[in-house]
Amino acid sequence: MVYLTLTLIYLLLCGCSKRQAAEMTPAPVTPEVPEITVTYTNFTQALFQTKCAGCHGAGRGAASIWTFNGLSSITSNQTRIRQSVLVTKSMPKGRSLSAAELQSLQEWFDKNMPE
């Protein structure tokens, strides 16, 4: 009887491996960070106002090429703006955009320029 009891205790102790015990431990929950959508209101408007309007604002020297006067002026010239800002990086003249600004602007264009 003692032998049987010791055998059962041994089997119970050896029956749960470290791997099985780890599998039973719940994985830590990582909170999801909500994705913030880049919009004209929360990003692009300020970028164009500070980086483009100095030359492309109404009455400015480069306004004859393209005049920044809000979202409609960007949407109607999006191909030209994408090319000069994101592809060739020839704009803004005499200034540059940070990697984060370029990435956010690319995201904005890719998501069909949300307002």
pLDDT by 10s per residue, the chain, length 115? 766 676 666 666 666 566 665 666 777 887 887 788 999 999 999 999 999 999 999 999 999 999 999 999 999 999 999 999 999 999 999 989 999 999 999 999 999 999 9
Does some domain include residue 95? yes
Does some domain include residue 46? yes
Does some domain include residue 7? no
Contact 50, 43 (CB under 8 A): no
Does some domain include residue 52? yes
Q: Give the global pTM.
A: 0.70
- Domain with 101, as residue range(s), is 40-110
Closest CA to 45 of 74, 76, 3: 74
Does some domain include residue 91? yes
- Rounded Cα distance, 40 and 38, in Å: 7
Domains held by the chain: number: 1
Written as six digits, the tokens of 68 are 């920044």
Does some domain include residue 60? yes
